[in-house]
């Protein structure tokens, strides 16, 4: 992913990230989104489907 695309992803509001995660299965969240960066880890930690 380019720096521009990754910075855009990090700038999204949490509610929008939650809406994106609503369309992704838990396995994908764990394997593809988790541990990408500290901000996404924090968002996933508070995401209701992950708890």
This prediction's pTM: 0.73
Q: Which tokens go with 19?
A: 């809406």
pLDDT of residue 32: 87
* pLDDT tens digit sequence for 1-51: 556 656 787 889 999 999 999 999 989 888 888 888 888 889 988 988 866
pLDDT of residue 35: 84
Compute the C-alpha angle 40/50/20, nearest 5°.
Answer: 55
pLDDT of residue 8: 80
Closest CA to 6 of 29, 30, 28, 38: 38
pLDDT of residue 30: 85
């Amino acid at each position: 992913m380019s720096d521009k695309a990754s910075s855009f992803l990090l700038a999204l509001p949490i509610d929008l990230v939650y809406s994106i995660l609503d369309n992704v299965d838990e396995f994908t969240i764990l394997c593809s989104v988790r541990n990408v960066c500290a901000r996404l880890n924090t968002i996933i930690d508070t995401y209701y489907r992950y708890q």
